[in-house]
Amino acid sequence: MDFRVLGPVVAFHEARELKLGGPKQRLVLAMLLAAHGKSVSTGVLIDGLWGEDSPSTARKMLQGYIHYLRGEVGDALVTDPGGYSLHVGADQVDERRFEGAVLEAERLIPVDPVEASERLAEALALWRGNPYADLDGEMVLQPELTRLGELRLVALSDRIDADLAIGRHEMLIGELESLAVEYPLREKFRAQLMLALYRSGRQGEALRVFAHTRDSFIEQMGIEPSDELADLEDRMLRRDPLLEIAPQEGAGSARALRGYELRETVSVDAAGTLYRAFQRSVGREVAIRVMEGARANDPAFIARFQSDTARVAKLNHPNIVYVQDVWREPGRVYEVTQWIEGERLDSYLASNRAGQTTAMRWIEQIGGALATAHRVGVVHGDVSGRNVLVSETGDVFLTDFMIGAPPSDESDDRRRFISIAHHLMFGAPPVISDRGFEALPSSATPPGLARVFEEALSVEDFLPVQQFVRNVKRAVGNDVVELAEAEDNALSLIRNPYKGLQAFQTEDARDFFGRDSLIERMLARFREKRLVAIVGPSGSGKSSVLKAGLAPRLDGEGQPFLLAEMYPGSYPFEELEGALAAIAVSDAPMSDQLVSDERGLVRVLQTVLPTDNTELVLAIDQFEELFSMTSSEPIRALFLDSLVAAVSDPRSRLRVVLTLRADFFDRPLRYPGFGTLVEAGLVPVTMPDESGIAAVIEGPANAVGLTVEPGLIAQMVRDVSH
């Protein structure tokens, strides 16, 4: 017998899954399993099943559940005086196997960390999701859920300790960064992240983790981090040699990647290598696509990669494979998505023919996913059978949006989608002849369906996705929302172009209005000077005009640019290194070089930038942080001197655009060399006038095909102005 509760509750007997019945009956089994062999009274069981609203027949219903369960699990379910118990061995329940493995591994960490790491990884792999996942809303199970959740975090932390002990610090950084975000109050993960960064030669980043933790704790709870964490920071500042460790034999892992374990190569094609992988921190399978080679270092690709990833990551539709993580390093690009068990649609159609009902459902699912992307301005770029997954549940999912590829338009997506729909309905793609596109009807298809496809493929730019789906549904006799009703519901299908109090990002440029004259002044200064200082009061929109106003217009300057963004923070050189790493074409070390002297940045730029005439635009937002958060005056002065040297170098390919709060304007002026550059490149930002406010209101609405009544605009302008 094998009981599994680290996920939905299931039970097996010699590979046969047992029938555990409905939710109430499964809850009885869950309560008995959670008792670990102890007797559970009839009253406790009834209270757990129904609470205070137990029916008069509760005892008899419970006896029925017990009778049925005993028929499945046998004599292991024992009737006790006043209750019941479930007697199974520790090796017969995954939760008990997990606990035993964790206890054994804790003993091994000091003596054999390699073996301990392997055992803990195997134990964590027993988790198929949240414990008792199909019953986790039941209050009676909450103490056990809490206990198991805490035990899992202990096991995870122990496994990381073992990995650190054997020198796997570099491969742990990505995993620990995710854990620090997911569990912001668990100092152990913060300490482990600091140690992993320190041992990877990234002392500044390790110290920045402590600074961020301290700021967060003080702001949220009014307390300082623990003495242990503060002591770790102090030891790093003193470069305590005991913090270093040499990798032990067996520590290497060629199949590990930034917190993910690569388990299987799924495919290799022009888009890169696709891996089936496991994210150990949360115990789930994922798909990782890795693209390598010259394309990953192409300046045009890098520039598109930054904006494309931001847009694709925002897509939210049940039939879109969502992107969990994306990053780039010199020569490689990584994209992590959810893992869908199944096969590619083109492979499925090579040996199967979808029935009309299935075909229509899949057309609606793919069409809904594609229409959602188009509504927010995302073009897939390669809608085809190889980029649609057929899951084991019989649903389809659109995947592999083209990131960093040359721009394409919606019409190509539409044409390819209609071709897929044709293949699903008629068993083959449409034919292209001298007369244009021809559908391939059969006697089994409804009359008029072929005509729907021919018309969809013959109109200019091809028929919009949702309209085409409606026409197909109508042709096969399915219910279709009438046009008037569809128009009434149209607003629910229109994206919201307003950002509220959030700052605009580069990908929001099409919704950014009301700042045209300011942007022109910024561009004029940008053409003249290598350092542009955008200075204005808090709330004047400095960050938005930089990211959604200036940055998108650089493409029209007749010069290839790469954009790197940063905030100074407490450790400006570490922030600068991170910004440069995102666009670098070389993995040459930067940390020591950047802080060596004021020309360190000049030397680093010579190694990380492409060898062509591409220039780097370094966007430093909230530049006032250099004066409010950077506590070291020597570091602040060196950072400013480095910027002066880099933009003043005769062969400079660096341009700096910074935003600065007006109440900090005097601070950079105290540094003569840098102050001169700020004065020469100054662009003051004032609050928008009434015409600008009107454009801010009306422009985004017009961008999504809506209009705002003039009287309403005038009233809103008056309200804002006063």
| Residues facing residue 562 across a β-bridge | 616
Residue 558, sorted as left (phi over 0), alpha (psi -120 to 50) or beta, turns out to be left
Q: Are residues 50 and 147 in the same domain?
A: yes
**CA angle at residue 62 from 60 to 63, to 5 degrees?**
65
State the pLDDT at residue 278: 80
CATH number at residue 150: 1.10.10.10
CATH number at residue 464: 1.10.510.10
Task: Put the strands of the sheet holding 2-4 in their side by side order.
Answer: 2-4, 10-13, 16-17
Inside any domain, residue 299? no
711 CB-near residues (< 8 Å, 6+ apart): none
3-state secondary structure of 404: coil
DSSP assignment of 247-286 equals: PPTT---TTEETTEEEEEEEEEETTEEEEEEEETTTTEEE
The sign of the CA dihedral 692, 693, 694, 696 is: positive
82 CB-near residues (< 8 Å, 6+ apart): 39, 41, 42
Distance CA 34, CA 95 (A): 9
The answer to whether the beta carbons of residues 326 and 336 sit under 8 Å apart is: yes
Q: Are residues 468 and 591 in the same domain?
A: no
DSSP 328: E
What's the number of CA atoms in the CB half-sphere (13 Å) around residue 402? Answer: 17
Inside any domain, residue 477? yes
* Residue numbers of the domain that contains 713: 691-721
| Residues facing residue 659 across a β-bridge | 534
Distance CA 702, CA 511 (A): 9
State the pLDDT at residue 586: 82
Q: Are residues 122 and 55 in the same domain?
A: yes
State the pLDDT at residue 576: 93
Inside any domain, residue 174? no
Distance CA 6, CA 33 (A): 12
Q: Are residues 698 and 630 in the same domain?
A: no
Distance CA 88, CA 82 (A): 20
DSSP 320: B
Inside any domain, residue 239? no
The answer to whether the beta carbons of residues 274 and 289 sit under 8 Å apart is: yes
| Residues facing residue 260 across a β-bridge | 257, 279
Which of 467, 493, 519 is the C-terminal boundary of a domain?
493
CATH number at residue 662: 3.40.50.300
The answer to whether the beta carbons of residues 685 and 704 sit under 8 Å apart is: no
The answer to whether the beta carbons of residues 462 and 419 sit under 8 Å apart is: no
**Closest alpha carbon to 452 in 421, 412, 497:** 421
**Closest alpha carbon to 399 in 344, 469, 332, 325:** 344
DSSP 489: T
Instruction: Looking at 272-409, list the stretches that DSSP marks H as alpha helix, in order from N- to C-terminal side.
Output: 299-312, 345-351, 356-375
State the pLDDT at residue 282: 66
Inside any domain, residue 466? yes
What tokens were used for 89?
A: 């061995």
Which of 493, 524, 539 is the C-terminal boundary of a domain?
493
Q: Tell me what percent of the chain is helix, strand and coil, each rounded to the nearest 5.
A: 50, 15, 30
Inside any domain, residue 304? no
State the pLDDT at residue 253: 40
Q: Are residues 430 and 575 in the same domain?
A: no
Q: How far is CA 194 from CA 149, 172, 202, 209, 604, in A?
A: 24, 11, 9, 6, 25
Q: Are residues 465 and 529 in the same domain?
A: no
Q: How far is CA 136 from CA 7, 95, 129, 156, in A?
A: 10, 15, 11, 21
Q: Are residues 460 and 522 in the same domain?
A: no
The answer to whether the beta carbons of residues 407 and 379 sit under 8 Å apart is: yes
Spell 73-91 as b/e; 16+ CB within 10 A means b. beebbeeeeebbbbebeee
Q: Torsion angle of alpha carbons 385, 389, 392, 393, nearest 10°?
A: -100
What tokens were used for 545?
A: 């005009």
* Strand 40-41 relative to strand 16-17, pairing: unpaired
Inside any domain, residue 314? no
Inside any domain, residue 428? yes
Q: What is the pTM of this model?
A: 0.58
Give the orientation angle of helix 449-458 with respect to helix 410-426, to 10 degrees: 160
State the pLDDT at residue 295: 77
State the pLDDT at residue 480: 60
**Closest alpha carbon to 569 in 210, 113, 172:** 210
**Closest alpha carbon to 468 in 533, 398, 415, 545:** 415
State the pLDDT at residue 367: 92
Residue 167, sorted as left (phi over 0), alpha (psi -120 to 50) or beta, turns out to be left
Own/partner contacts of 23-28, CB < 8 Å, gap of 24 or more, are 23/134, 23/135, 24/49, 24/61, 24/65, 25/65, 25/68, 25/69, 26/134, 26/135, 27/135, 27/138, 27/140, 27/141, 28/62, 28/65, 28/66, 28/69
Count of domains in the chain? 4
**Greatest C-alpha distance within the chain:** 91
What tokens were used for 279?
A: 């994210």
Distance CA 698, CA 687 (A): 17
Q: Are residues 31 and 60 in the same domain?
A: yes
* Helix (H), strand (E) at residue 561: strand 561-566
Q: Are residues 428 and 389 in the same domain?
A: yes
Class of residue 492 by CB neighbours under 10 A (exposed 0-12, middle 13-18, buried 19+)? exposed
Which of 460, 493, 526 is the C-terminal boundary of a domain?
493
The answer to whether the beta carbons of residues 654 and 615 sit under 8 Å apart is: yes
Q: Are residues 517 and 657 in the same domain?
A: yes
Phi first, then psi: give them for residue 559, nearest 5 degrees: -150, 130
Class of residue 659 by CB neighbours under 10 A (exposed 0-12, middle 13-18, buried 19+)? buried
State the pLDDT at residue 648: 95
Task: Give per-10-residue mean pLDDT for the chain (722 aa).
Answer: 90 87 92 93 94 91 93 92 92 93 90 89 88 86 93 93 88 86 91 92 88 88 92 88 63 55 79 82 80 79 78 85 84 87 91 88 92 86 92 90 78 90 87 60 68 78 81 79 45 68 82 92 95 93 91 83 90 89 83 89 92 90 93 93 95 95 95 96 91 90 85 86 67
Q: Are residues 555 and 487 in the same domain?
A: no
Distance CA 76, CA 93 (A): 13
Distance CA 647, CA 526 (A): 12
3-state secondary structure of 95: helix
Q: Are residues 660 and 543 in the same domain?
A: yes
